[in-house]
Structure 1
Amino acid sequence: MEGDTAPGFYFIEHGWIKIVTISTEGREQILYIWGPGDLFGGVTAFVDQPAPATAIALEATGLWLLPRHALHEHLLREPTFALRLIEFMAQRLSEMITLVSDLSLRSLTARLARRLLENAVDDVVQRQRWATQAEMSARLAAAPDVVNRALRALVEDGIIELSRQQIRIVDRQRLQVLAASER
């Protein structure tokens, strides 16, 4: 939980976790959504400070914990592992910088377009069981009705098609132009 001291790094064996910050009014900003094979808890694994965010399971989830002291000992013995962990942490930092940049400099439509392109496999974004409109809105830092309007506009413009379980990209090129724009 945000503000608590975490005991180390967590490895997700199965299930999905969202990492969020929550305002005093209860508004949620999703920082990451992680699934099987992902690690989290890196900040407090190295710095003796409270966790900056909260991890919430989106479904039944199995985790492994690598305690802080064991992680430190392993890093001292295994320089290759240490290098890989540094690369991993650098990638997470890069993702966070992109998120801050997107939230502060890009329009909702540009953020939505980018998210759809990042999550698409063969131009289809499959919705997870737990992926509600509220989750998508929190991830994009916008109200659900505003995200709904943006999705409907993309449908009306012939850029995407919506169904209950998926979003299909119909015009990838136009979606890429929107994702690259700042407005």
Structure 2
Amino acid sequence: ESSVDSICNTTGAQLGVIDIIVHNAGITRDKTIANMPEHFWDQVININLSRVLDINRALIEKKLLANNARIICISSISGIAGNFGQSNYACSKAGIASYVEAMSQHTADQGLQGLTINAIAPGFIETDMTQRIPLLTRELGRRMNALSQGGLPLDIAEGVSFFSRPDANALNGNVLRICGLSLLGK
């Protein structure tokens, strides 16, 4: 609950304004919706979606974003295509994708000079989190794209770098799929 104030206070004191912010915090609390405790739903929605909106709102209100600032949010292929047992996660990541589109249209109305907001929707990425997935499920995740392999965290970092460039000022409201042409989703 205190993350928004903490981020704004630290930013104001140490940086003045932010040029680039990447919203990459996220959690999973997987269960089928019939077996999902309410607090699992709430935790995922709060961390993956609500805090992103709260932080951005506070940064804008307190004028802590520089001119031409870049906001990059991490969504997911699960937010585009859904995923069994991850209705809360998929909902939060679909919310991020929709928020980015809506917010990109709203930034000009707020007089935020040159601010862009975009999202990245990773597919199966080889991380500590995916290493905890059961072997068969993990192998299916790796093979469910045209490359038949999982992506790397570096692939996501390259997408963040792409959206962060000064000459990316015409990129606003986009969701970039970094998924090896996943068979899931549109």
Q: Do these two structures clear the TM 0.5 threshold for a shared fold by scoring above it?
A: no
Higher strand share: 1
Higher helix share: 2
TM-score (normalizing by structure 1): 0.26
